[in-house]
Structure formats: C-alpha cells, structure tokens
Amino acid sequence: MPIDEANSRADQTVSWLDDAAWRLAAQAAPCGLFVCNPDGIFIFVNAVFEQLTGYSADQLIGELSFESLHEPQALMSRRLEIRRPAMTTQVDSAHPLTPVGPASGTDWTYLKSDGSHVPVKLTLNRLVDEKDNTRGYVGAVFDNAGSAHEHARPWQLFYRDTLTGLPGRAWMEERLELAIERAKASGEPVLLVLIELHDLRHVRDIGGEAAVRLVVEQAARYLRNCCTKGQTLGMLQDTRFAMVCTGQTHLDAETQAALLAAASRAVQYETNILHVKASVGASAFPAAGSDVPALLQRAVMALNAARQSGGNIARHFEFDMQMQSSRRRLLETYLGTAIDASQLTLVYQPQVNLQSGHIDFAEALLRWQHPVLGAVSPAEFIPLAEELGQIDALGAWVLDEACKQAARIATKFGKSPRIGINVSPLQLRNSEFFQMVESALKLRNLPPAYLEVEITEGVLLDDTELMLDTLKRLKALGVGIAIDDFGTGYSSFSYLTRLPVNHLKIDRSLVCAMEPGSDSEPVVSAIVAMAHALSMNVTAEGVETKYQADRLRELGCDNAQGYWFSRPLSAAAFENILTPLG
C-alpha cells in the first residue's frame, strides 16, 4: 500500500479502529500494542498488552493513560523521554499523520494491576500532524523478563489452542465479530455452531487427563475434515469447539450427523475403547442476535438444550430456550440446599405381582418440593444434579432414606417388598458406591435382599471393570440389580448376559403401545421369554389400562407398575396398603 494511502487511513483514527479486519490484525500481533488519544488515554489495546499489564481492555480504554502504567520514580526522572506536548490546534483530518519517535525501544518498568513489576521494552511513537500537533500515541511493548520465544507464548496461548493447534477462544471471537461486520454489509447470514464433548468422567476414570486429551485431539482432527469453504473451526474451552459458518442460518441434517459422528467417534486407549457423547448447539446472525456475546450465549443455550435431551443431538437456538435457561439458573441456585432444607422426600410406587396380587417390589421415586418453585420433577432436576456434580450427595440421601423406610416396614410387618432405588450411571462410576450401599444397609440394619438398584441401559455402554465389579459385589451381597427402561435404547441381551442382573423393567413406551391388534405385544412377549430364560424377574412399567394388565398377565410378565394399580404413594400411604399383607 502506498505510504500516503496508509497515512490517510491512519488519519481517520476512528474508522481505522472500527474496521474489524484491522483490529483483528492488531489484536493478533505477538507483542503488546496500544493506541492512545492526544491525552495519552488508551483507545485501543491488544490481547498481549492486556496480559502484560494484567489490566483488561475495559479497565484501560477510556480510563487510564499509558503513563500511569510506568513505575512512578522512573517516570519522574525520565518523563521527557515520553513527554507529550499539549494539543493546541484543531487539526484538519485530511492531513496525513506522521509517527515521531525512536526506532528502537527503551527499557522501562511497568506496574502491573496486581502491584508487581515487569521490565518492558517500549517503543512509543507520537502521531503528529504537519503542524506537529499530537494526534495520538502508538506503543509497542515487549516483556523484557522473557525470551523472544516467551513473548510469543501468551499470544500463542490466547490465539491458538495448544493441544489441538486450532484457533483459540480470542481468535474465534474476533473471527465471529469480523463475520458479523461483513454480514451487516453484505446481508449474508452467519451461523455460530458449538460442538461439545461431554460425559467424559469415565474417560478420566480410565486414563486420566491423558485419555481426555486423546479424545479431544481426535475430535479436532475429524471435525476439521467436516469444514468446508466459509467455515472456521476453533476451540472455545477444554472440550468445546466452535465453528463460524458464513452464508448459512441452519445446519442441514447431514451436516449435523457428520459433526456429531466426528466428535463422538470411539477412541482406542491402551486396551480400552473410550466412548464419548457430543452435542451441537447453533445460533445465527441476525435471527438470534446481532453481536458476539448474544450469539455465543444463545448458542450455549441451544447446546445445553441438546445436552439435556440426552446428547448426541444438534439443536438450533429458539426463543423458548431463553425461558428454560432462566428456570435452569433458578434450579441451580436452589438445588444445592434442597437436602439441608428438608425439601426432598421419597414416594413409593408398588409393583404388583400379576399372579398373586402381592407387592413384591416397589420403586422409590424422589420428590423435590420447593417453597417458590413448587414441585419439581426428578426428570428435570436429576440431569441437572448430574451435571452440577451433586448427584452423589442426592443419591446418598435417597439410598439412606429408602433403607430407613424399608427397615421400618420390615420391623413393623416382619418383611418388606424389595425397594428399588434409581441409581444414575455417574453414581455407579464412583469407586465408593459399593461401600456406601454396604454402610447404609448396616446403619439401618436392613437385610440386603430388601434393596434393589435400578440402572439404565446407558450404563451398559461403558461397562468399565469398576462398574462391573461394583455390580457383582452388590449382587453377591444380596442386593437386587434391575435394568430400568428396557426396550428404549440398545436393548441388547448380549450385554445383559455379561451383567449380574436379576430384574428387568420393560419401558413404559412399549407398554403404553399395547392395545388390541398392536404389534408391540410380540416384542413384549419376546422380552419376557428371554428374561425368564436368563432367570430374571420382569416388571412392566407404566401400566395404565385393564387391557394392558390382562395381556401382560397372559404373556407371563411377573409384575406390573403403573397408574392402573397405584400412583407413587407417600411413605405413610405405602405402609397402609401393605398392612393387610403384614
């Protein structure tokens, strides 16, 4: 670019800075850069300058002068070196600006925001017009404490993700900002896509951080292959990728599937196969917002919605999600105190033996009654507790409460139905789970045969040695093991044969589809037959009609649970219906 043209660009200081492309370039410089107004107040700082000084751009721009960062004593004695002449005349902005100052830097000491000192090399140029009026300052700052290589490190860290080599968060945010600026001019939309790996706890259990890194690295490799022209892939956080796509508002089904498959590919780690889940959330400019923070926030909402529906799914932002997200924040705030505030109770739903009419089993279901939120469904707060790492505390409370209640019934009537508690896969991955169950039984003096753990098929997918071992020890102790919601997921009997399971619960969706002439009956019948061949007890869940109850009895199903027989009951009501049996 000819020098005049360059200068006339620089003359329009404001538009120069407003141009997102130029800002991007200055931001990406591997040394500290700043621009000040004639009073020496910052009007632009780049990322390395923020890192060097410890101040954020917000704290610097419009707030501090570049002189205020200098160590005061040195500043007093050497002020002339950087002294700025007062601005006297109004300047015609058409005149070119000339940078004036030393070509090489001088050594100074900066006072960082935390009060510490950092030696720097500062090259400061005054921007003057033809009458030598100061129009501003441009400074380049190097950290003298480190080597040249280290100067580049903060830049690297900020702009590149060190593990995957992909652009980092700062870079991606600027890329998005630039895309939005361009879109404003061209009218073309921009789509922000977030791709997150989750449920990494078992990956960590198996191989620690090394295994997690391997999973993330592989996801980065495959995701990179998914990118086409106009799409930029980067890294926002440890396990969260971002893709900025220009010229589109939606991900088509094929791309959604490709991204999910790329991110959640199984990884071989030593002798283990690691499975991860991925979710995708997307928000588009201008529909979901007109700046980077809005688009990011809404893409995160879409991502959370995808995650909450079980993962391995993509969601686009919808305005309903905003409501859901404020509810979620409320739930997050209150959930942590639910146990201590005695807001939790267990209700018990009988599983009626279809031959004898006796209640051989009952399921304990958690209830949360909050003074402000009212009754919150476990389907809503259990996944949240899992995400927030509170499921172990909640699970421990459920375990103890169920043992206490079963022990009470056993003492009162001389026996108790076997009480099933729902156990989240995360709880089973806790190496102390067996110990917790054993202690709870001992504490409440409950024979193990009166307790059962209900696990979902999801657990079967990542059956680590630890989990298998826990289940085997529980069974050996005499605790029942039930597979919950059977028939919805992979429903593989080959998995079942490997697990020490003695009770199978057929999912409500199969049961409620049972009506005259429906084709779900042969499926239910086959499940019952196979379960019996494996010596398992079978319960059908969600039995709501007489027809279903009758057909299930004819098909040989052992027990039925559902509204046709009883809704979940309070502990007291549950005891009352057991009385005649006592």
Would you state the structure tokens that stand for residue 41, as one six-digit string?
């107040």
The site for Ca ion, by CB under 5 A, has a size of 5
Tell whether residue 491 is a contact of ligand C2E (CB under 6 A).
no
Tell whether residue 207 is a contact of ligand C2E (CB under 6 A).
no
Closest approach, Cβ 519 to ligand C2E, in A, equals 21
Give the other-Cβ count within 10 Å of 309's Cβ: 12
Q: Report which residue type is found at 91.
A: V
Could you tell which of Ca ion, ligand C2E, none binds residue 568, using a CB distance below 5 to 8 A set by kind? ligand C2E
Pick 351 or 422: Cβ nearer Ca ion: 422
Closest approach, Cβ 486 to Ca ion, in A, equals 9
Q: Which of residues 527-546 bind Ca ion (CB under 5 A)?
A: 541
Pick 63 or 550: Cβ nearer ligand C2E: 550
Closest approach, Cβ 283 to ligand C2E, in A, equals 30
Q: Which stretch binds ligand C2E (CB under 6 A): 36-44, 185-193, 523-531, 555-563?
A: 555-563
Q: Which stretch binds ligand C2E (CB under 6 A): 81-89, 103-111, 331-339, 372-380?
A: 372-380
Closest approach, Cβ 340 to ligand C2E, in A, equals 17
The site for ligand C2E, by CB under 6 A, has a size of 21
Pick 196 or 484: Cβ nearer ligand C2E: 484
Could you tell which of Ca ion, ligand C2E, none binds residue 462, using a CB distance below 5 to 8 A set by kind? none
Tell whether residue 509 is a contact of ligand C2E (CB under 6 A).
no
Pick 409 or 540: Cβ nearer Ca ion: 540
Closest approach, Cβ 465 to ligand C2E, in A, equals 23
Pick 521 or 541: Cβ nearer Ca ion: 541
Closest approach, Cβ 390 to ligand C2E, in A, equals 11
Tell whether residue 457 is a contact of Ca ion (CB under 5 A).
no
> Which of 366, 376, 437, 504 touches ligand C2E by CB under 6 A?
366
Tell whether residue 276 is a contact of ligand C2E (CB under 6 A).
no
Pick 57 or 373: Cβ nearer ligand C2E: 373
Neighbouring residues of 2: CB distance < 8 A, sequence distance ≥ 6:
none
Q: Which of residues 324-353 bind ligand C2E (CB under 6 A)?
A: 349
Label residue 42 exposed, middle or buried (CB < 10 Å: 0-12, 13-18, 19+). buried
Q: Contact, 570 vs 550, CB < 8 A?
A: no
Rg over alpha carbons for the chain, rounded to the nearest Å, is 32
With CA atoms as reference, report the closest residue to 193 among 295, 87, 324: 295
Tell whether residue 484 is a contact of Ca ion (CB under 5 A).
yes
Pick 279 or 561: Cβ nearer Ca ion: 561
With CA atoms as reference, report the closest residue to 358 among 407, 415, 421: 415
Closest approach, Cβ 16 to ligand C2E, in A, equals 57
Instruction: For residue 514, give the 3-state DSSP assignment.
Output: coil
Give the other-Cβ count within 10 Å of 564's Cβ: 15
Instruction: For residue 99, give the 3-state DSSP assignment.
Output: strand
> Which of 359, 542, 557, 574 touches ligand C2E by CB under 6 A?
542
With CA atoms as reference, report the closest residue to 244 among 181, 153, 307, 154: 181
Q: Contacts for 433-441 with beta carbons within 8 Å, 24 or more apart? A: 433/470, 434/470, 434/473, 434/474, 436/396, 436/399, 437/399, 437/474, 437/477, 437/479, 438/477, 440/396, 440/399, 440/400, 440/403, 441/403, 441/477, 441/479
CA distance between the termini of the chain: 95
**DSSP alpha helix (H) spans, 200-319:** 201-226, 253-263, 292-308
> Which of 11, 161, 173, 454 touches Ca ion by CB under 5 A?
454
Query: DSSP of 462-510, one letter per residue?
Result: T--HHHHHHHHHHHHHT-EEEEEEETSS---HHHHHHS---EEEE-HHH
> Which of 46, 353, 422, 430 touches Ca ion by CB under 5 A?
422
Q: Which of residues 67-106 bind ligand C2E (CB under 6 A)?
A: none
Could you tell which of Ca ion, ligand C2E, none binds residue 379, using a CB distance below 5 to 8 A set by kind? ligand C2E
Pick 416 or 422: Cβ nearer Ca ion: 422
Closest approach, Cβ 558 to Ca ion, in A, equals 16
Tell whether residue 436 is a contact of ligand C2E (CB under 6 A).
no
Pick 161 or 454: Cβ nearer Ca ion: 454
Pick 212 or 543: Cβ nearer ligand C2E: 543
- Rounded distance between C-alpha atoms, residue 526 and residue 42, angstroms: 75
Q: From residue 558 to residue 577, what is the string marking binding to ligand C2E with x (rule CB under 6 A)?
A: ---xxx----x---------
Give the other-Cβ count within 10 Å of 222's Cβ: 15
> Which of 13, 218, 256, 424 touches ligand C2E by CB under 6 A?
424
Closest approach, Cβ 394 to Ca ion, in A, equals 15
Give the other-Cβ count within 10 Å of 533's Cβ: 9
For the stretch 369-399, what's the b/e string if a residue is b when 16 or more beta carbons lie within 10 angstroms of its beta carbon?
ebeeeeebeeeebbbbbbbeebbbebbbebb
Tell whether residue 390 is a contact of ligand C2E (CB under 6 A).
no
Tell whether residue 313 is a contact of ligand C2E (CB under 6 A).
no
Residue located via tokens 């997918």: 461
Residue located via tokens 């510490």: 116
> Which of 46, 279, 416, 422 touches ligand C2E by CB under 6 A?
422
Query: DSSP of 253-279, one letter per residue?
Result: HHHHHHHHHHHT--EEETTEEE--EEE
Neighbouring residues of 77: CB distance < 8 A, sequence distance ≥ 6:
none
List residues near Ca ion by CB under 5 A: 422, 454, 484-485, 541
List residues near ligand C2E by CB under 6 A: 349, 365-366, 377-379, 382, 398, 421-422, 424, 484-485, 508, 542-544, 561-563, 568
